[in-house]
Amino acid sequence: MNDVSGYEGNPAPGGAVFDPAEASRALGLTLEEFTPLLAKAAREIRFRLDAVRQGVAEEDLRAVALNSHTLKSVVATLRAEAVRDAAIAMERCAKEGECARCAGMLTCLEERAAELLAELDDV
């Protein structure tokens, strides 16, 4: 699941899922400018994760791919590499038409997203 060609992200320090200071610098923002965006990111992550779940439940692989792709973009902005990797894997799986495998991968995506959301909720 670590095939993330072109991604230049570094792991967050101290076992954190993401580093707000590093993510804000990467966007050219101060931490004060960046912090208000985190609540919006958390809402979008929850929305897209719910849409992925629904797509998996309905075996709608197009919806799974689209929402995994969008989720990947949101978490890449935060430089949350583990969630990004899981979303990339889910998107590829959906595009390859592997419905049963997507269902199995959902738990991993949910776990990585839950870790990130817990950190976002604490900021």
- Contacting residues for 113 by C-beta, under 8 A, at least 6 apart: 45, 49, 71, 75, 83, 86
**Domain locations in the chain as residue ranges:** 19-122
Which secondary-structure segment (H or E) carries 21? Answer: helix 20-26
For residues 72 and 7, is the Cβ–Cβ distance under 8 A? no
Report, as an integer, the average pLDDT of 1-27: 62
47-70 pLDDT per residue, tens: 999 999 999 999 999 999 999 999
> Residue 123's pLDDT is what?
77
Tens of pLDDT, residues 68-84:
999 999 999 999 999 99
pLDDT of 113 > 70? The answer is yes
Tokens 């400018």 correspond to what residue? 33
CATH topology (fold) of 19-122: Four Helix Bundle (Hemerythrin (Met), subunit A) (1.20.120)
How much is the pTM?
0.85
